[in-house]
Amino acid sequence: MRFDQYNIASAIKNNLAGLGFKRPTDIQYKAISSILQGEDVLAIAQTGTGKTAAFAIPIIDKIHHQKSSKRSVGIKCIVMAPTRELAQQIGDVFDSIAKHTRVKAFALYGGVEQDPQILKLQKGIDVLVATPGRLFDLISQGYIDLKNVNTLVLDEADRMLDLGFIDDIKYVKRMLKQRHQTLFFSATINKEIKKLAFSQVKSTAIRIQISPDDPVSKNVSHYVLSVKADDKRYFLEQFIRDHPAKILVFVRTRVRAERVAKAMARVNIETVTIHGEKDQHERSAVMNEFKRGDAGILIATDVSARGIDIPNVEYVINYDLPDVAENYVHRVGRTGRGVNKGIAISFCADEEKGLLSEIQTLLKKPIEQIKMSKGEYKATLVGASAPLGSVEALLEEQRFWEEKKKRRKAQKTRKSDRKK
């Protein structure tokens, strides 16, 4: 089924066509019709599969038709997101799909002056995308009225619930005067969080899981390379020099982000950083610079891992493995989005092997190891250009020797069988 065959407003169809949307992804196909019918939905799908559009399209269509048939004022839908960057991105998606419709969306988040935001709210909006802190702040000040809200969406629901926002979510639901629809969307969810999520939706809620056995998209090839902690900067330098591309590097802390950036600067590699220590204007400027391609290397903490859609990221490097296994899925999901292919490589030090084990338990399978000889490892440390070459070449050579080893083993088995 194509989007132009859906029973949605023609303006939305035109916008989707202009954005290059032709056919719905699995999550969009399964979610859109249920949302249009007013069902509660709890959806789990891999990163990069179009979850935001899966709820934005039907919500915009419903509000557009409501405003066509009668005068309708006030906020109709609240979308709650765990980070400012994700709130901004969701707002952008709503804006692009809602062009030339009667629907107005606005992204609300902290870290910036509230007066311009209040002015925007007073002009009238239909969809409010918000982080919890600023949302509750403006509700308490009387600037946000929820009496007309009939849809509540939690994006990255597992993160929202895991951060302890369940009481805030219950508070918002108690304030909704109308019967409302609740939509939970996430890429990962564990049993405890799932119970919390189920407690906030109707018993008849539609439960959708796309590829639950493999939370990492098939478009992402992901590998792990054993590297001593003190040597990681040399391997990152070599990788960047060998792969002139858009690269997103994840580290564990803000201090690490700045240290790695300084280490790269010392070898004349320009990078930009994003983390919670920067104010919102700095974070937005850095993200826009990376999205436009003005900066080729972004070093980030997990503030940028959740749901952010950055075009054409070819490689993700886990300079540090994440402390929380689920964050691995969100990190590597920054590449290989939509129909694009991507590669993710994790540098694993000896002290991180426990974290690697947790990640592989979550994935229910081992991550393919990139093997490197002692000579190749040493050559990287002294700055030779040959050792890492390209990931593809290394893996091709690795598979060649593995196949050769298998053939030799098979030949020995056949000889042994003939002797018998």
Indicate whether 10 and 91 sit together in one domain. Answer: yes
Indicate whether 162 and 226 sit together in one domain. Answer: no
137-147 pLDDT, tens digit per residue, is 999 999 999 99
- What DSSP assignment string belongs to 17-69? HHTT--S--HHHHHHHHHHHTT--EEEE--TTS-HHHHHHHHHHHHHHHHHHH
Range of the domain at 379: 220-389
Phi, psi for residue 318 in degrees, rounded to 5:
-85, 90
Q: Which of 160, 187, 209 is the last residue of a domain?
A: 209
- Residue 381's pLDDT band (boundaries 50, 70, 90)? confident
Q: Which of 163-172, 229-238, 300-309, 388-397 has the highest mean pLDDT?
A: 229-238
Indicate whether 172 and 250 sit together in one domain. Answer: no
The secondary element (H helix, E strand) that includes residue 394 is helix 391-419
Indicate whether 77 and 181 sit together in one domain. Answer: yes
Q: What is the pLDDT of residue 152?
A: 94
* Within-domain flag for 396: no
* Within-domain flag for 71: yes
Indicate whether 118 and 176 sit together in one domain. Answer: yes
- Residue 85's pLDDT band (boundaries 50, 70, 90)? confident
212-236 pLDDT, tens digit per residue, is 567 788 889 999 999 999 999 999 9
* Within-domain flag for 410: no
* Within-domain flag for 178: yes
Q: What is the pLDDT of residue 28?
A: 94
Q: What is the pLDDT of residue 386?
A: 40
Q: What is the pLDDT of residue 80?
A: 92
Residue 393 has pLDDT above 70, yes or no: no
- Residue 297's pLDDT band (boundaries 50, 70, 90)? very high
Contact 398, 223 (CB under 8 A): no
Q: What is the pLDDT of residue 27?
A: 92
* Within-domain flag for 75: yes
Indicate whether 197 and 231 sit together in one domain. Answer: no
Looking at every residue in the chain, the average pLDDT score rounds to 87
171-181 pLDDT, tens digit per residue, is 888 888 788 99
Comparing 41-50, 201-210, 283-292, 381-390, the range with the smallest average pLDDT is 381-390
* Within-domain flag for 69: yes
pTM (global) more than 0.95 = no
Residue 266 has pLDDT above 80, yes or no: yes
* Within-domain flag for 215: no
Number of residues written out for the chain: 420
Q: Is 181 helix (H, G, I), strand (E, B) or coil?
A: strand
Q: Is 186 helix (H, G, I), strand (E, B) or coil?
A: strand
Q: What is the pLDDT of residue 420?
A: 57
* Within-domain flag for 297: yes
Give me the sign of the Cα torsion angle 25, 29, 30, 34.
positive
Residue 38 has pLDDT above 90, yes or no: yes
Q: What is the pLDDT of residue 214?
A: 73
Indicate whether 105 and 193 sit together in one domain. Answer: yes
Q: Which of 175, 209, 243 is the last residue of a domain?
A: 209
Closest by CA to 90, choosing from 121, 60, 65, is 60
Residue 342 has pLDDT above 90, yes or no: yes
Residue 277 has pLDDT above 50, yes or no: yes
| CA R_g for the chain | 24
Domain with residue 192: its CATH number is: 3.40.50.300
Cα gap 100→103, rounded to integer Å: 8
Residue range 358-363: average pLDDT? 93
Q: Which of 209, 242, 258 is the last residue of a domain?
A: 209
- Residue 373's pLDDT band (boundaries 50, 70, 90)? confident
Indicate whether 228 and 180 sit together in one domain. Answer: no
Q: What is the pLDDT of residue 385?
A: 41
Q: What is the pLDDT of residue 387?
A: 43
Share of residues in the chain with pLDDT > 90 (%): 51
Q: How many independent structural domains does the chain possess? A: 2
Q: Which residue has the higher pLDDT, 302 or 62?
A: 62
Indicate whether 178 and 257 sit together in one domain. Answer: no
Indicate whether 187 and 249 sit together in one domain. Answer: no
Closest by CA to 222, choosing from 332, 355, 347, is 332
54-66 pLDDT, tens digit per residue, is 999 999 999 999 8
Indicate whether 140 and 234 sit together in one domain. Answer: no
Share of residues in the chain with pLDDT > 70 (%): 89
Indicate whether 155 and 235 sit together in one domain. Answer: no
